[in-house]
Structure 1
Amino acid sequence: MNDHVEKMKLNTKKFASIGIMGLLGLVVIFGSVYTVEEGHIGIVKRFNEAKSQVNPGLHFKVPFVDSVESIEVRTRKNEEKMSSSTKEQMPVTVHVSVNWTVDKSSALDLFRQYGGLTQFEQRILDPRFRSATKDVIPRFEAEQLIQDRATSIQLIENNLIEEMKSFPVVVDNIQIENIILPPKYIQSIETKQTEKNLAAAEEHKLERQRLEALREVNTADAKAQGIVKVAEAEANAIRLKGEAEAAAIAAKAKALKDNPLIVTLTEAQNWNGQLPQTVLGESGMPILDLRNKQN
């Protein structure tokens, strides 16, 4: 009986040892395998000292000795809302954002120097971003800042790129998300814009009237020119007709002068066969009526 109990105790200890060893084996196996997500770089630390960086995928490490932290290398966005003043000393609140990316090949150096992205943002990126923005905003008047954001954005971006060129990151782009000005100034801008719109509308109306008047003048000029052309044509026709008639008379006179018999021929052609009924005496007596007198 005692032998049987002892045997059971030995078996129990044996199975327990096997179970513990199996469990340890599983822990070792799972502790030596890890993955890095896409868009991240894995920083392998040995006893908390950064040793190397690995790309996304499946990897192996020394259990209980190595640990892994990830650094995102996709585009990140930082936003800042800060108070400043315009060129004319008007208070303004600007909401700006910057998109930036960690240089993949320098992720290990960034981790060694700053301990991760959060520390880098708080200690390096954000202060320089605020400084670059506050350096640019006072160069612009409020109206110009609203109407020409692109110029101010470009200047902020240039400043920040210059500030960050010695760090293992890339500044992608900057945006001014919002500009908050005093309500009274906003109202004055709206009033000014309304006046500009009214002035532009009035100018358009005057230009339209000018064009209509010019069109009427051109139409009247065209009509007048048409009348002149018609009158000139009629005058030319009359002149040409008179010249033709004069030429005909002159030709006829010349013909009569050159050949007097034409007169006699013409009279003969036009004679109706009757003798003249009155003659003019040589003595200057009145014309005598030679017709037969009848009572």
Structure 2
Amino acid sequence: MDLSRSSKANEATSKANSFFKAGLAKKVIPGLILLVVIFNSYFIVVEGHVGVVKRFGEAKHQENPGLHLKIPFIETVEMIEVRTRKNAEKMASSTKEQMPVTVEVSVNWTVNKEAALDLFKRYGGLTQFEQRILDPRFRSATKDTIPQFEAEQLIQDRASAIQGIEHRLAAEMEGFPVIVDNIQIENIVLPQKYINSIEIKQTEKNLAAAEEHKLERQRLEALRAVNTADAKAKGILKVAEAEAQSILLKGKAEAEAIQAKAKALKENPLIVKFTEAQQWDGKLPTTMMGGQGVMPIMDLRQPSKD
């Protein structure tokens, strides 16, 4: 009797649990389905991208950054980056003199935002576009340009090589929905023998330049000495000319003075008497000399008291 009651109680409990689980499942499962539907009914496009909306795999339209709605389980979204991307390539080539060289080049490119849908339809996305279109053309443009430059020119004038690659790549990428720019030659690897020869050549060039500088300095010093001597000689000549001119002028002045004095004496003999009177010291002569008919010489000096 007790076993029968216990069995009935367990059966009732089992039925109650089953009923409870069934009721809970009926409530939870629709809620989960609703959440899944809600989460699949919208999408967010972040900045720097556009969203290509696909319906059963077919690209229908594109959306700009922001929150957008879509049909759950039917439409999916593919993100296309429209910011600048960088591709780098390391490739083997040769210079104009047939010297093997390895160059590392890079290129920046940007998808035209308005043409993102067209790019996805034609090429299936950015990765496929890079692998099928951009990278092969980039390698081709580089390998066509590098052999036009000698190794030394390639090292010293990378800008010309870069410009050549840009022109070729721009021509090959014309018509594609991307903008290609800012190509850079990141590194140039030449054979070690050539690098050693460049170092030797540069050393010899530096020595030659130093010797040329030394010779030029000696030439300037010699020229400076010549100029100094010439300046001194000119200075001495100027001094001599000035002294000669001074003597000439002085002699001329003295001659003119003598001529003027002679002329004055000639025109007025009294000037002689006047000059003698100016030069007389006021004493009479102590002796006189004479001949016949003249007074004898007389000593007019007073006798000494001794």
TM-score norm. by structure 2 comes to: 0.86
The whole-number CA distance in structure 2 between the counterparts of 1:12 and 1:84 is 73
1:80 is aligned to 2:99: no
Q: How much has 1:9 moved relative to structure 2?
A: 4.6
Partner Cα distance (2:252, 2:258) in 1: 10
Give the aligned partner of residue 44 of structure 2.
35
Q: Choose which of 191, 196, 202 in structure 2 pairs with 1:193.
A: 202
Q: CA deviation at 1:278?
A: 5.7
Following superposition, the deviation at residue 11 of structure 1 comes to: 4.7
Letter of the structure 2 residue corresponding to residue 252 of structure 1: K
Q: Is the 8 A contact 2:290 2:297 kept in 1?
A: no
Gaps of 5+ in 1: 283-288
Match 1:175 to one of 174, 181, 184:
184
> Distance between the aligned counterparts of 2:291 and 2:227, measured in 1?
75
Pick from 119, 125, 130: which aligns with 1:116? 125
Deviation at 1:277, TM superposition (A): 3.5
Whole-angstrom CA distance in 2 between matches of 1:88 and 1:8? 89
Q: Which amino acid aligns with 2:80?
A: I
- Separation in 2 of the partners of 1:266 and 1:121? 126
TM-score, structure 1 normalization: 0.89
**Cα RMSD, aligned residues only:** 2.4
SS at match of 2:165: helix
Per-residue deviation at 1:4?
8.9
Asked whether the equivalents of residues 53 and 75 of structure 2 are also in contact (C-alpha less than 8 Å), the reply is yes
**Corresponding position of 1:262:** 271
Counting only pairs closer than 5 Å after superposition, residues 48-59 of structure 1 correspond to structure 2 as: 48-59=57-68
Deviation of 1:105 after TM superposition, in Å, equals 0.6
1:165 maps to what in 2? 174
Residue of structure 1 in register with 2:284 after alignment: 274
AA partner of residue 227 (structure 1): I
Identity, in percent, stands at 69
Alignment: residue pair count: 288
Q: Secondary structure of the equivalent of 1:64?
A: coil
Opposite residue 190 of structure 2, the aligned amino acid is L
Aligned residue for 1:212?
A: 221
Structure 2 CA distance, aligned partners of 1:279 and 1:255?
Answer: 33
Distance between the aligned counterparts of 1:46 and 1:71, measured in 2? 16
What is the CA-CA distance between 1:134 and the residue it aligns to? 0.8
Instruction: Give the secondary-structure state (helix, strand or coil) at the position aligned to 1:38.
Output: coil
